[in-house]
Amino acid sequence: MSEFRVYALEELGPDSYPPEWHATIKHAVREQAGHRCVRCLHPYRRGEHGKGEWTPCDERCRHSGPARVKAYGDWYEPGSWPDRWDEEGGLQHALSEWPVEAHWRILTVHHLDGDKANCRWWNLAALCQRCHLEIQGRVRMERRWPHEHSDWFKPYVAGFYAWRFLREDLTRVEVEARLEELLGLEDRQLVLSPHLEVS
């Protein structure tokens, strides 16, 4: 889509987003993600769950709480049910027996570099509210990351590296075909941007 580009200042609306953001871009990003958070895989479809405070989990969810469980006809909310799922698959166990709903996991679209004018595909991630806030506070695209990137994040950061270091504006398919090569460009940040801190 031609909408996935960087917008000039004069193209932005009063809310600092381009008009295409509200009309097509954010909806396309959610649809491409299968209406799921690309990080925790929680599903969400706008309008299906009232205001979205509680939304159903399914077998693909990979998040912890807070959540509530419907058992024996009653909802058990955080505090009355373990609202932190353990690494041993507590959420999956609960799902196999009862309906589970997560608290405030409405699907948003996050600009990974924080620039609302930058609507390139690799800068836009469909994230639930909780993942959005966590990633927003931790991710800096231009900062070298000393650990292996999470699988969900690799295509985004590889697309960023292709643009930043090679000046190539690649599609997601092109990035995924060259993923290892592009992720290897991260080491160039030490040479090209020595003033950037490593965290």
Q: Give me the pLDDT at residue 146, please.
A: 78
- As a whole number of angstroms, the distance between CA 76 and CA 160 comes to 43
Q: Give me the pLDDT at residue 189, please.
A: 61
Question: What is the average pLDDT score of the chain?
Answer: 84
- As a whole number of angstroms, the distance between CA 48 and CA 52 comes to 8
Q: What percent of the chain has pLDDT over 90?
A: 58
Does 48 have pLDDT greater than 50? Answer: yes
Give this prediction's pTM: 0.82
DSSP character for 21? I
- As a whole number of angstroms, the distance between CA 33 and CA 166 comes to 27
Domain boundaries, the chain: 1-47+104-139, 54-103, 140-199
Structure-model confidence comparison of residues 121 and 100, the more confident one: 121
Q: Give me the pLDDT at residue 69, please.
A: 83
Q: Give me the pLDDT at residue 93, please.
A: 53
Residue with tokens 């504006």: 169
Q: Give me the pLDDT at residue 37, please.
A: 97
Amino acid letter, residue 193: S
Q: Give me the pLDDT at residue 106, please.
A: 94
